[in-house]
Amino acid sequence: MSILVNKDSRVIVQGITGSEGTFHASQMLDYGTRIVAGVTPGKGGQMALDGQIPVFDTVEEARTKTQADVSIIFVPPAFAADAIIEAAYAGIGLVVCITEGIPIHDMVRVKRIIDMEGTRLVGPNCPGIITVDECKLGIMPGFITRKGSVGVVSKSGTLTYEAIGQLVSAGLGQTTAIGIGGDPIIGTSMKDVLQLFEADPETEGVVIIGEIGGQMEIEAARWAQKNMSKPIVGFIAGQTAPPGRRMGHAGAIVSGGDDTAEAKMRILGECGIAVCESVATIGETMKRMLKA
């Protein structure tokens, strides 16, 4: 099994005719992702990806014609919020938004609508999802992964790749890896993903990668302490970040209290999570936890 996507997921690519959409959709298709349609307003009737994928003007038309259940968005920031909302109104159950730089006030509107429509959003400003050897949605490099039993959830794209690399070096593969994004308002939280991994019988352990700012990692850790039966290995980025300065993601800013890296690492440890001081020890730590 896996979480969120698998080999049967039927995928729409919003923005498929743009340079980013074309490039990454080609990579996704090569990986084995079942892309059934693209959407670009005004270009309906065309064929994308060397004539392999039909293009529609609207998500609703694409979903009706192809029975798609997932959409991935490669749309510029000014139009990305409306693209998410369009997918939600069309009845798409899972939307993954790669776009960086969506204004916060736009995301407030998006969050309200997707909650009303029952659509799960991953992102924005995220690398996407990969269920190993089945489905790749986004910009994660598929060749670094290996099929296995460890789930990965991260706020950081590059650290997701590093964690996967460390797991593979330790002889461990992955079920699904998901980058949830680091913006102040995102669709799917770390706790949401832990709930999904806990329910997945093929996932035997989970790696979580957080960062300074906010309370998401703490909320996830406290939920896991009471509800999670599987071992968790954690890493918090930003251990040397100065207070009050944004580092990397828009949500990564420390205001004081328990949103510092030190405080989060302490709380994760108190909740039974094996906390790594360095990302380089994630693989061996998880290997040891799974053997315990």
Question: What is the tens place of the pLDDT at every residue in 27-85?
Answer: 999 999 999 999 999 999 999 999 999 999 999 999 999 999 999 999 999 999 999 99
What percent of the chain is predicted at pLDDT more than 70? 93
Model confidence at 242, in pLDDT bands (50, 70, 90)? low
What are the Cα distances from residue 128, in Å, to 38, 221, 224?
17, 22, 23
Q: What is the mean pLDDT of residues 2-12?
A: 96
Considering the chain, what is the average pLDDT of its residues? 93
Q: Are 259 and 184 in contact (CB under 8 A)?
A: no
105 counts as catalytic = no
What CATH code is assigned to 11-122? 3.40.50.720
CA 20 remoteness from chain centre: 18
Q: Which CATH architecture has domain 141-291?
A: 3-Layer(aba) Sandwich (3.40)
Q: Which of 249, 261, 271, 287 is catalytic?
A: 249
DSSP annotation of 143 reads G
For the whole prediction, is pTM greater than 0.85?
yes
The amino acid that residue 270 corresponds to is E
Tell me, yes or no, if the two domains 11-122 and 141-291 fold the same way: yes
What's the CA gap between 99 and 24, in Å, rounded? Answer: 13
Read off the pLDDT of residues 127-174 as tens digits, 9 standing for 90 and up: 999 999 999 999 999 999 999 999 999 998 889 999 999 999 999 999
Model confidence at 255, in pLDDT bands (50, 70, 90)? low
Could you tell me the residue ranges of all domains in the chain?
11-122, 141-291
Contacts of 211 (CB under 8 A, 6+ apart): 155, 156, 182, 236, 237, 238, 247, 248, 249, 252, 261
What's the CA gap between 216 and 236, in Å, rounded? Answer: 12
Q: What is the pLDDT of residue 260?
A: 82
Q: What is the pLDDT of residue 106?
A: 97
Residue written as token pair 């005004």: 42
